[in-house]
Every structure is written in structure tokens, then in C-alpha cells.
Amino acid sequence: MAGRDISFVIITYNDAARLPKALASAALSARRAGWDYEILVVDNHSQDHAPAVLAAFAEALGDRLRVFSLPRNAGTTISRNLALRAARGELICVMDSDAEILEQSLLPLADLLAEMPEIGIVGPRILLPDGRTYDSVKLLPTLGDKLLKIPGVLLRKPTINHDWYPDFPFARLACVHTAISCCWFFRRELFERVGPLDERIFYAPEDVDYCLRAWKAGRAVVYYPFLSVLHHTRQTTHRRPFSRTALSHLKGLLYYLGKHGYWLKRDAVAADWIEPLAYALEPRLAAWERRRLQKGDIAL
């Protein structure tokens, strides 16, 4: 089959209320860019009216929408890998079903990826419904970071997040350790280079794992504040710290830390795999940004 300019990969599970905005925003953003596109949706055995929503969009989008219906909830990694393997786009956008791409152009972002092959994953600005910028990029997590949050979570008090960047949100392009997979952009080459998401992780932190694997493969993770994505997040792990989802997250974190061989300190991992490439890339990011701001392609 012929390729596409961009493939949007969306997984959904009982999220019929938010899914239409994700689908519509994906299609509209591609059309504004003048791109040939496809949207691949994996339905993790939704019990709400998500299948009806997808059927309605299929009538409107035709073969641009491809739906994969699973017989059970397979989590984030198996379902995303299913769509990523089938995707035909040169550019890939992974997004959650509760994410909505806003109206800025995708063209400069695509140019950035084309001009700098060292960039692997681009994470846009993530906005919450109240207008705040979500802390979507973080330092590599450690076990200590998570243990220090437990008292606050149990007492339902504000917690200190030791894996957050203290000066975030950034106004400029920046190399970052990790970016949440609420919305990612990357070239097909990254998936071919790094491989699929680790299916031994059911729910999280599959995105953290993939970001570190990208860095280890010589591909940077970059925060891009010139495209905004609205995230209608539910944050169930914060409200219910002992839910099945939260416990699955903890299990995934322990697996991730063991896999990459660090537990309490991130500095050595960052020094080995992140800092050399980031140091070389950041001046080029700054120069690219200056040129694009002068041309009016992007705006602060």
C-alpha cells in the first residue's frame, strides 16, 4: 500500500466522550498542513459507546481511519505496537484518546524533525482544561522520587516531585530526559531504530522506558512549546493510589528501574546517555528557533 505523510496512533478504552475530539483534531491538523494522513485506533475492548463513535467517524473518513478491536484490554504497549507496526506514515503521532491537538501548524515541527535526524521524540506543550501547562516532561525517575511522594499521597496533601524540572514550563526548545506519551511526534525511522514499546510493561512507565531507549540509540527527546495539545486527563493513579492501575504503574516502574540498572540515582545514566547528545544538539535547536521566530513560522 502507498505510504502516508503522517499516521496518528490512538488507543482508547471506555473513553467515548473524549474520543471524538482526538479524532477530529488529528484529521484537521493534517488537513491544515496539506498532508495525506491516516488515523489508526486500537479499541481495548471498550464497554461504552466507543465502537459507535468509531463507526460514525469511519463513514466520514473512509479508509483514512483504520480500527483494530481487541478482545480484551491489552494496556498501552501491546495496543500501540499493533498500530505502530501497521502505520504507513513517514511521520508518526502517538496520542491519547483524551488528547486534542490545537490549531498551531504541524509544519515547523515536521521540519525540525527532518532537519535534525538526531532528534527522536518531540513532545509538544500539554495544556490542562483550566489552561495550566501540564508537567509533561520530567527527569528520569528514581525509586527514591516515588517513595518520597507516598506520605503526601496517603494524606491527600501536596507532594514534592523530585523528578520534575524546577523551571518548567519552558518557553523555548529544550532537550529533556522524558516526555509523556499523551502526545508524541517522531519519524518512522525511530520505531525502526529503537523497536517496539516494551510489552512487559502493561500501562506505565512505557513512555519513560521508550524515551531512555531513544537516548541510548542516539536519538534525543525534545520539548517543543510551539504546538499545544489539550489533555483532558483523569489522573486515576493520583486519586486512587491503591487502584489496580496504580499498582500496575508501580510494578512497571520497578521493572523499568531493574531493566536499566539504576534505582536511587539518575546522574550516571544521564551523564552516559543524555548529556553528550543534548550538549551538542542544544545550540542547533537555539539557532533553528531563532530563524523560525524571525520568519514568523513559530511564536513565543
- 21-31 confidence digits (pLDDT tens): 999 999 999 99
Tens digits of per-residue pLDDT, 249-275? Answer: 889 999 999 999 999 999 999 999 999
pLDDT value for 237 = 46
- Which of the four pLDDT bands, split at 50, 70 and 90, describes residue 241? low
CATH class of 4-295: alpha beta
Q: What is the mean pLDDT of residues 86-95?
A: 98
pLDDT at 228 over 60: yes
* Residue 75 neighbours by CB under 8 Å, 6+ apart: 44, 201, 202, 203, 248
- Which of the four pLDDT bands, split at 50, 70 and 90, describes residue 234? low
pLDDT value for 185 = 98
pTM of structure: 0.95
Q: What is the mean pLDDT of residues 44-67?
A: 97
* Residue 156 neighbours by CB under 8 Å, 6+ apart: none
Q: What percent of the chain has pLDDT over 90?
A: 86
pLDDT value for 153 = 65
Contact 99, 228 (CB under 8 A): no
Q: What percent of the chain has pLDDT over 70?
A: 95
pLDDT at 280 over 70: yes
CA dist 56 to 94, 140, 201, Å?
22, 41, 32
Beta bridge partners of 221: 121
Q: What is the mean pLDDT of residues 282-288?
A: 98
- Which of the four pLDDT bands, split at 50, 70 and 90, describes residue 50? very high
Longest dimension (CA), the chain: 55
**Residue ranges of the alpha helices (H) in 34-76?**
50-61
Tens digits of per-residue pLDDT, 99-158? Answer: 999 999 999 999 999 999 999 999 999 999 999 999 999 999 999 998 888 776 666 777
pLDDT value for 225 = 98
Q: What share of the chain is helix, strand, coil (3-state, %, to 5)?
A: 40, 20, 35
